[in-house]
A = this chain, B = another copy of it.
Amino acid sequence: MKTFILLFQCRDQKGIVAKLADFIFKAGGNIINADQYSTDPAGGYFFIRVEFLINAPSGKAALEKGLSVIAKSLQAKFSLYDKEKPLRMGICVSSPGHCLAEILYLWRERELNVDTPLVISNFEGHREFARQYKVPFYFIPATKNSRREGELLKIVSRDTDFLVLARYMLVLSKKFLNAYGKDIINIHHGFLPSFKGSNPYGQALNQGVKVIGATSHFVAEKLDTGPIITQEVEYVSHKDALKDLVRKGKNLEKRALVEAIRAYIDYRVIKHNNKTIVF
């Protein structure tokens, strides 16, 4: 028995659920979970995530073939994932190590179901940390003026299914994004769309806000604008100096990023226009 996850999307129309459920039933599957969303029942766009348990001797390819027929009839797009096959995650990180530490700890405790992650950093200080967790570490001394994206690309294009920027301080170029071509999840230490760019906590302090936030989002070409996956917030007061905002913010960043990764690797995130559906 295997568990598969189906993501399926098309224009809203009658009978989508019936066709998919019927297909899974006839293939001998049992739907464990199903979540659906329609932007507008009267002519909007429809999304469904179905998790089903199945004894599929003829395998994933056979299921995909059957689903293709339905998809074609509905002009739909779909993806089918084997739940037990973990994704390969690459972590890019600069000097601030709190997100890295959280991710590696949870991974080792089997609370983040990804394949052995690899760590790429322009801060050599993380080498020892990665060694302790027995994960590959690549030091690329990239700077603002010499981003060395070629080296980065070489590593991640082959060995990762998605990238996480766990406080990576360099902006990735359009060229890199296109060449890599897979999803990249960033943590921004501010409450987007406020406080884009650098020093968001300083910006928050100057504005005298009473709530700070952190935002995890997909990377898009324009800085800090991609579809938001998760946001976490916390109350602050006039007593909180910059160092307090930073300290509280680190907690928010860890939580927002980990929840985004968790949703992503469970195939619960769908990008649509500049927004996300997170089932």
Contact = CB atoms under 8 A, between A and B. Distances in A.
Given A14-B25, A207-B228, A213-B211, A101 B111 contact: no
A211 B247 CA distance: 21
Interface size class for chain A?
35 or more
B191 A211 contact: yes
A277 B98 CA distance: 30
Given A191-B194, A211-B213, A37 B238 contact: yes
Contacts of A208: 227-228, 274-276
Interface stretch (A15-23, A142-150, A152-160, A171-179): A15-23
A59 interface: no
A112 to B, nearest CB: 10
Contacts of A231: 209-211, 235
Contacts of A32: 38, 41
A207 B193 contact: yes
A160 B210 CA distance: 28
Contacts of A213: 211
A278 B237 contact: yes
A99 to B, nearest CB: 11
B38 A36 contact: no
A14 B33 contact: no
A122 to B, nearest CB: 19
Given A207-B193, A228-B210, A278 B238 contact: yes
Interface of A: prevailing SS: mixed
B21 A238 contact: no
A80 interface: no
Contacts of A18: 18, 21-22, 24-25
A24 B97 CA distance: 41
Nearest to A47: B238
A68 interface: no
Contact of A105 (B21, B98, B207): B98
A209 B14 CA distance: 30
Interface string A1-42: 000000000001111111001101100111111111110010
A31 B113 CA distance: 33
A213 B194 CA distance: 12
B29 A14 contact: yes
A230 interface: yes
A116 interface: no
A53 interface: yes
Contacts of A277: 238
Contacts of A230: 210
A22 to B, nearest CB: 5
Interface in A215-239: 227-233, 235, 237-239
